[in-house]
Structure 1
Amino acid sequence: MSNKDLRQFLRSNKLLLPRQPNHDEFLTVMDKVFKWSCLIGVLGSKRYFCCFWSAFILGVLLFMEIQAIWKVIKALAGIAIDMAGQRSVTARLAGTIFYTIAIFSLILASKLYRSWGDISTLWARVERIMAVKAPADKTLKKRMYFIVGFMTVCAMLEHIMSIISSIGLDCPPSLIIKRYVLISHGFMILRHEYSDWYALPLAFMSTVATLLWNFQDQIIILISMGLTSRYHRLNQCLVKICALEQKQIDSDKKNDATNVYTWRKLREAYVKQAMLVRKVDGAIGGIIILSCFCNFYFICLQLFLGITQSKASEPIRTAYYFISLGWLCCRVISVVLAASDINVQSRLALKHIYTHDTLCYNIEVGRLQNQLSKDYVALSGNGFFILSKSILLQMAGAIITYELVLIQFDDKGTDEGQLNLTKNAIGV
């Protein structure tokens, strides 16, 4: 058979190609998650419809963002007609930041989706060449599906709660869309500008933006679960090797040589795993920064609104502020704890090495101990900060500090200043 015929034969037989489809449960779930993310505009598939839909979502978000920024500029310049309620500078800025987050989330998620093929190939290759029989994680797939379903449902419930808090419980069905858009998007649209053709896309894009915001946290948690699972499997393998060596202390030199070879393969597996974490960290660093920033900002905002407006607002709106605050805190804690588990699991093997019998010590055990103790493995925000448990305390301290400052400057003079701006306004 000639070389040309051989190449044609290999192309027609996918099972003989070097890049065979992987059967890793984590990669299977992530592929499905990315495919479903195309519904909210994440670009990764090369199908024409997906490209068109993603471009449409991004175009509408950019148009809304430009409108929101222009209204913020007019509000800061004092030339906005209406500065009350949802048209104040704070509300306009919050709405602008919300859609800015949606745009960046869409871009970064699309970038990750398009590079996921290379990451998944590396992920599968590391698994194949690990040369260590690590036990399978039988619950990983179920836990990942649970996280996806739970976070999506909670995000939609929080969004529905925001709609109810905006329109109230006494709103007639015929005015639901109008009241919701005028209140929730008051920073973009005035009452005389309202139109059903304008309102329906706004309501739809609000839901898409909420799902995009939720999707970035899902990605961080799911990838962290996958990396943590791999470290957990390696640690289980190390524990079994330690237990077997404990039973073979009195074995001959041939077994000693075999043990050195086993420990070398185990050490190389930890090296490859650390390399994989750094590769993934480089790919999702931007998403981590965006997630931490937007969650921090909206926690401060919802806590501030809940404290300052709880007396003047309706009970349903006050309840929404604190329910939304609780959900945001839950997301932040879940993201940080899931990511910090990678660092915890990467160093967990040290305690088994320290307690290992000295009679079983060899050069590879010492190298592995030195490697695990000095090599810091963790997810980060492009190197600016590390996702560890201590960052939760830092964020809590920063939130309390900012809230005290905001509450201190939130006095009656603010309302008087807004009234003066309204009286001096010259038009929208």
Structure 2
Amino acid sequence: MDQPKFITKQRKRLQDHQKNNFPHEVIHDDFLQVMAIIFRFSRWFGVAGSGNIMWKTYGLCILLMLGFIEGVAIWRVVRALAGLASDIEGHRSVTARLAGATFYASSITTLILSWKLSSSWETIASYWTSINRRVAINVPTDKKIKNRMITVTSVMVTCVVVEHAMSMMSQVGFDCPPSLILKRYTLMSHGFLLLRTDYSIWFAIPLLFMSKIATILWNYQDILIVLISMGLTSRYNTLNQYVAKFSTHIQDFPWNPHGECSKGYMWRRIREAYVKQAQLVRRLDESLGGLILLSNLVNFYFICLQLFLGITQGLSGDLIKRLYYVVSLVWVCVRVSCVVLAAADINVHSTKALRHLHASDRHYYNVEIVRLQSQLSKDYVALTGLGFFSLNRTILLQVHGRSNNHV
């Protein structure tokens, strides 16, 4: 039997063996499982995604109500700028009206973009799983990613609840009678929408509900970016660990008895795994880019607004208001840092394998290692804000510098 027929026969035997012994191979990915739970839970605040008709109807109602509030907020801004507003003091100033309109506009945009992402998540998850199947090396799974995701989500949600509770207390104060809590909170938090003479409990309750939905959506986009970034970073980290182990113990790896036995072939499969990983990052970037751009713009705006108000008005009011101002500003800055650093880790880990390649034994150095080095050095991998900017660790310094210039 000549050599080509022998190799073909051996490959067919191996394929039949895999097909018979693994006919329904299912790859369990903890990251995808946690994200599926996140998207199912997000239906409660309007991100219907791939939910049934009831969830989509509920989400559409949320969107319409947010749109109505935004329309009124924009009209109030126009009246204030045109000099037609009857009251532009305090919580009804042009700055307050513009901040309120920006807040609800960002919530509407977040809802639309998150809805789009959750609708396509099944396709993304299938692509994610197919990448796992097509990687021709035995890369170990990250068994701690699920716990890390749960921990990060719990911490961020706890911080959001604490910050928002302090916001409500600062708006109401401790001297307010229980019967007037709803009225005072509504007029203080939504003074850019309602005058005292416009107040009605029939307006207050729906407005209170929608304000909580908008607050959840504002924070939800950041949590979503952080979690997806953690998943992509985890994949790069496991690949880098595999390269480190292979480059250190390459002489211990056995030869393949079916002909594909060279170490160069193994390095080529590793290089292809990095190519597929970069494709996965770019696939996620296409779906997540809008949320990244929105998150950075809105958070940047509110950081500048908080600094502006702190400088122009000072820390006035009672203790709870002063404390809330500090906590709110610190939390927005921390949240922006978490988003940027989590996404920037993808860029950092995409080139970490280079140090292992440079340190590999010269006796096993080959052309595939050279190609992998060139690929990792020249292929820039990072999440972007629709291509306007890339999220890396230098962007925090850029945002800090721009904030100081604007203030």
Confirm or deny a common fold (TM above 0.5).
yes
Matches within 5 A, 1:46-125: 46-125=51-130
Question: Which of 284, 287, 299 lines up with 1:283 in the alignment?
Answer: 287
> For residues 370-415 of structure 1, what are the alpha-carbon distances to aligned partners after superposition, in whole Å with 9 as ceiling and x for unaligned?
1001100000011110101100000001111111xxxxxxxxxxxx
* 1:375 paired to 2:407: no
Amino acid across the alignment from 1:82? D
Match of residue 352 from structure 1: 356
Q: Tell me by how many angstroms 1:241 deviates.
A: 0.8
TM-aligned CA distance change 1:20 to 1:287, over 3 Å: farther
In the aligned structure 1, how far is the partner of 2:353 from the partner of 2:398? 28
Q: Secondary structure at the match of 2:249?
A: helix
TM-aligned CA distance change 1:394 to 1:244, over 3 Å: same
TM-score by length of 2: 0.91
TM-aligned CA distance change 1:22 to 1:66, over 3 Å: farther
TM-aligned CA distance change 1:147 to 1:19, over 3 Å: farther
TM-aligned CA distance change 1:37 to 1:46, over 3 Å: closer
Match of residue 264 from structure 1: 268
* 1:274 paired to 2:274: no
Match of residue 177 from structure 2: 172
TM-aligned CA distance change 1:223 to 1:311, over 3 Å: closer
> For residues 82-115 of structure 1, what are the alpha-carbon distances to aligned partners after superposition, in whole Å with 9 as ceiling and x for unaligned?
1111000000000000000000000000000011
Q: Tell me by how many angstroms 1:133 deviates.
A: 1.1
RMSD value over aligned CA atoms?
A: 2.1
Question: Which of 308, 317, 323 lines up with 1:319 in the alignment?
Answer: 323
Q: Secondary structure at the match of 2:262?
A: helix
* 1:297 paired to 2:324: no
Q: Tell me by how many angstroms 1:150 deviates.
A: 1.6
Match of residue 131 from structure 2: 126
TM-score by length of 1: 0.87
% identical equivalent positions: 52
Matched pairs, number: 385
Q: Tell me by how many angstroms 1:135 deviates.
A: 1.7
* 1:330 paired to 2:334: yes
Matches within 5 A, 1:365-404: 365-403=369-407
Q: Tell me by how many angstroms 1:20 deviates.
A: 7.8
> For residues 328-349 of structure 1, what are the alpha-carbon distances to aligned partners after superposition, in whole Å with 9 as ceiling and x for unaligned?
0111110111011101111000
The gaps in structure 2 that reach 5 residues or longer are: 1-22
Question: Which of 230, 238, 243 lines up with 1:233 in the alignment?
Answer: 238
In the aligned structure 1, how far is the partner of 2:320 from the partner of 2:385? 36
Amino acid across the alignment from 2:204? A
Q: Tell me by how many angstroms 1:258 deviates.
A: 2.3
> For residues 168-210 of structure 1, what are the alpha-carbon distances to aligned partners after superposition, in whole Å with 9 as ceiling and x for unaligned?
1111111111001101100001111100010011111111111
Q: Secondary structure at the match of 2:28?
A: coil
In the aligned structure 1, how far is the partner of 2:41 from the partner of 2:310? 35
Matches within 5 A, 1:204-215: 204-215=209-220
Amino acid across the alignment from 1:330? V
Q: Tell me by how many angstroms 1:318 deviates.
A: 1.7
Q: Tell me by how many angstroms 1:314 deviates.
A: 2.5
Instruction: Kindly indicate whether structure 1 or structure 2 has the higher relative contact order, using CA contacts under 8 Å at least 6 residues apart.
Output: 1
> For residues 256-302 of structure 1, what are the alpha-carbon distances to aligned partners after superposition, in whole Å with 9 as ceiling and x for unaligned?
95211111111110000000000001110000000000110111111
Q: Tell me by how many angstroms 1:307 deviates.
A: 3.1
The gaps in structure 1 that reach 5 residues or longer are: 1-17, 404-428
TM-aligned CA distance change 1:362 to 1:63, over 3 Å: same
Question: Which of 20, 31, 34 lines up with 2:39 in the alignment?
Answer: 34
Amino acid across the alignment from 1:191? R
> For residues 58-86 of structure 1, what are the alpha-carbon distances to aligned partners after superposition, in whole Å with 9 as ceiling and x for unaligned?
01100000000001000000010011110
Q: Secondary structure at the match of 1:393?
A: helix
In the aligned structure 1, how far is the partner of 2:365 from the partner of 2:26? 40
Question: Is the 1:105–1:212 Cα contact (8 Å) retained in structure 2?
Answer: yes
Amino acid across the alignment from 1:25? D
Amino acid across the alignment from 2:370? G
Q: Tell me by how many angstroms 1:240 deviates.
A: 1.1
Q: Secondary structure at the match of 1:347?
A: coil
Match of residue 48 from structure 2: 43
In the aligned structure 1, how far is the partner of 2:289 from the partner of 2:136? 30
Question: Which of 193, 199, 204 lines up with 1:194 in the alignment?
Answer: 199
Q: Tell me by how many angstroms 1:245 deviates.
A: 1.9
Amino acid across the alignment from 1:242? S
In the aligned structure 1, how far is the partner of 2:106 from the partner of 2:25? 37
Q: Tell me by how many angstroms 1:315 deviates.
A: 2.4
Amino acid across the alignment from 1:332? V
Question: Is the 2:347–2:381 Cα contact (8 Å) retained in structure 1?
Answer: yes
